[in-house]
Amino acid sequence: MKPLSELKREATESAEWRGHKIVWSAPYHSERTSVQNATCCDCGAEVQINTNPLPNGIDIGGTAVALNCPIEKE
Residues 55-71 pLDDT 10s: 999 999 999 999 999 98
Residues 2-21 pLDDT 10s: 999 999 999 999 999 999 99
In angstroms, the CA 17 to CA 55 distance is: 28
Q: Indicate whether 36 belongs to any domain.
A: yes
HEC letters along the chain: CCCHHHHHHHHHHHHHHCCCCEEECCCEECCCCEEEEEEECCCCCEEEEECCCCCCCCCEECHHHHCCCCCCCC
Instruction: With 0.85 as the threshold, say if the pTM is over it.
Output: yes
**Mean pLDDT score of the chain:** 94
Residue range(s) defining the domain that contains residue 13? 4-66
Q: Indicate whether 72 belongs to any domain.
A: no
Q: Indicate whether 73 belongs to any domain.
A: no
Q: How many domains are contained in the chain?
A: 1
